[in-house]
Amino acid sequence: MRVAPTKIETFRDDFTYSNSEFAIKRFPFPFPEDDYMYSVNIEPHTLPGPVGTVNEHLIDIDEHYLSEMRERGIVLEENPKRCLAMPHMDLACWDMIDRCMTTMSEDYPDYFSLTKDGDTWHWHNKLLDQQDTFTFGDSSTLSLPPMEYIGRQVQGDFALLDQRDGDLFMDAGIVTCPADWSLAFDAGMSFKEWHGPVPMAHELGIFDRALKYLCAIQVNRPVRRLNWTLTVNARMDTSPETYPQWGTDRTTVTPENIGEKIHLRVELQVLDRMPRSNALMFSIRTYLASLEDLCSNPEWARRLHRVMKGLPEPLIEYKGLTRYHPMLVEWLSQFDPVN
Please identify every residue annotated as catalytic. Answer: 225
- Contact criterion met (CB below 8 Å) for 241 and 182: yes
Peptide bond into 48 cis (omega under 30): yes
The three-state secondary structure class of 177 is: coil
d(CA 23, CA 172) in angstroms, rounded, equals: 31
d(CA 228, CA 231) in angstroms, rounded, equals: 10
* Phi (first) and psi of residue 176, to 5 degrees: -120, -5
Provide, for the chain, the percentages of residues in helix, strand and coil under a 3-state DSSP scheme, each rounded to the nearest 5.
35, 20, 40
Specify burial of residue 271 (Cβ count, 10 A radius: 0-12, 13-18, 19+).
Answer: buried
d(CA 31, CA 300) in angstroms, rounded, equals: 9
The three-state secondary structure class of 66 is: helix
Residue ranges with strand state E in the chain: 43-44, 83-85, 112-117, 120-125, 130-135, 157-164, 167-174, 223-232, 262-273, 280-290
Residue 184 identity (one-letter amino acid)? A
d(CA 339, CA 332) in angstroms, rounded, equals: 11
Query: Among candidates 56, 151, 42, which has minimal Cα distance to 106?
Result: 56
Query: Containing H/E element for 92?
Result: helix 90-107
* Pairing state between β 130-135 and 157-164: unpaired
CB-facing half-sphere around the CA of 126: CA atoms within 13 A: 11
